[in-house]
Structure 1
């Protein structure tokens, strides 16, 4: 696995929007945010474009992303937001020149597609973390933002969180993979489907019906995906929906049941995903996890 070089003061950050459209004011806020931290900023030509719900049509979004990946002048790429649309353009992306100038890519949610492509096609690590869409709601010194920029400057994090009643205690090591559960499910049986053997899986999601969460987890179980893992970390399951006839389980309980027959550790409630605190994670990096009754630790 290739780990991109660390940023320095004066490094250049590119902002692209491979999925949903985003307001120009939010992009300009992000520009000022980066400038305040002494970075240069380059915007994708179509980053503020609009085509129905997308930030430009497929051709425009793919061209912007390809340019940022190829450019030796760009030191890191921030995806402006998630939403939907990255899966529509991923087969148009060529990582040949990117591998000459590998750089950190940051994003989450729909950007799970890019994380999967970077690991499975390019063999390059990437960062699941806050995006410019989130910046207006955050202070400069919030824990996740500080951790993100520390990581970009070469300082990998060690996390300690409170235990959850749905946890399963234990210790494990493995390469960290994952992202948004719905996108992991959507990529099954495609060239971007990740080999789970010995890996530690992180999952999160937003706005799904609880029965849909169970359906996705049952897919991972029936296919043997869950059986091959060495551990699982469950982030935020935000704004879950239910039918008039309640499903009867929370998202955490659904995951707990799906992995009940395996003996690896399970860490629930890790603060990453669509809630306010979104601690950055490095996909493609080997991690160790320890789940105990008094504390849970994740070390990169």
Structure 2
């Protein structure tokens, strides 16, 4: 299910379904969206602070439902990640979302919502920079800004080494629906009604602040759950701040990746600037993509909406 594209003058809703956004960064991000010719509706509870959450579960769920139900809101962009989306997944009205398909945009902890919404409704959603934590940040770059153009005009995305070096761990070509996102969040779906399905799909993984031993443990859990065996290929995005700390012996992240995938019989690449990084390349999850190690490209064909 494809959302409707945006036009100048449309209204985007901003919600904080996980952690609370920084007010100054949020306002800066809002000004950027307005510079694109968009109007902004701020979620009623977007500025709430409830421990490490942006409001209670009921308040954050209310804002999500309110934005999908409001006929004057054409897209929904998350303010930031953090933690909390998994707490509301079982209470979401997925029929409401299916009846009102809109652009839904975010990443990090929003991975849980991307997975749940797509698998419950079929809606294509966007893994991309967020209003407070990215757009409102000090170093938000021009390439990441251009990623928002696909909300107005769906376009073929060709990721190549013109953006950043790509490391081939296992050669090959594969085609499939691109799914995934944050590794920690994807592991947290296992054993739940929202467990990520990877059969014949290209699996995207990224994370931040997870040292090699933690990434090792999570990759092992996905492996034992059969997620790699089922997938058509694996795309490793950015794993920022993942260097080993302290004086204890450790593998590097790249060594961990090669241990898991060097003998994998399907294509695997790493180093893509998708996730907690700049530039942060936004992609539509749930669309068909082609991964080629021959040309070192990831090509995403979003369809027309």
Where on the TM-score scale, by shorter chain, does this alignment land: which range?
A: over 0.9
State the partner residue of 1:121.
120
Quote how far apart the aligned CAs of 1:264 are. 1.0
TM-score (norm 2): 0.92
> Any unmatched runs of 5+ in structure 1?
none
Aligned length: 298
User: What TM-score do the two structures reach when normalised by structure 1?
Assistant: 0.93
In the alignment, does 2:111 pair up with 1:109? no
SS in 2 for 1:78: strand
Between 1:98-107 and 1:166-175, the stretch displaced more is 166-175
| Secondary structure at 1:97 match in 2 | helix
Secondary structure of 2:136's partner?
Answer: helix
Q: Which residue does 1:153 correspond to in 2?
A: 153
Q: Distance in 1 between matches of 2:147 and 2:65?
A: 27
Structure 1 counterpart of 2:29:
30
Secondary structure of the residue aligned to 1:105 is strand
Q: Offset at 1:157?
A: 1.6
Q: Please report how far the alpha carbon of residue 89 of structure 1 lies from its aligned counterpart in structure 2 after TM superposition.
A: 1.2
State the 1:241 CA deviation.
4.8
Q: Which stretch has the larger CA shift, 176-185 or 50-59?
A: 50-59
Q: Deviations over 1:12-37 (max 9, x none)?
A: 10000000011222222222111111
Residue aligning to 2:296: 295
Shift of 1:95: 1.8
Match of 1:228 in 2: 230
- Report how far residue 194 of structure 1 moved: 2.0
8 Å Cα contact 1:140-1:146 kept in structure 2: no
- Asked whether the equivalents of residues 13 and 78 of structure 1 are also in contact (C-alpha less than 8 Å), the reply is yes
- 1:16-165 correspondence to structure 2 within 5 Å: 16-133=15-132, 134-137=134-137, 142-161=142-161, 162-165=164-167
* Distance in 2 separating the partners of 1:256 and 1:286: 26
Equivalent pair of 1:128/1:280 in contact (CA under 8 Å) = yes
Residues 13 and 138 of structure 1: CA distance in aligned 2, closer, same or farther (over 3 Å): farther
The structural deviation recorded for 1:246 is: 4.0
Kindly tell me: are residues 40 and 275 of structure 1, through their superposed partners in 2, closer, same or farther at Cα, counting changes over 3 Å? same
CA 1:141–1:85 in structure 2 vs 1: closer, same or farther (change >3 Å)? Answer: closer
Check conservation: 2:158, 2:297, Cα contact below 8 A.
no
Cα distance in 1 between the residues matched to 2:240 and 2:66: 33
Q: CA deviation at 1:242?
A: 2.9
Unaligned 5+ residue runs, structure 2?
none
**Greater CA deviation, 36-45 or 152-161?**
152-161
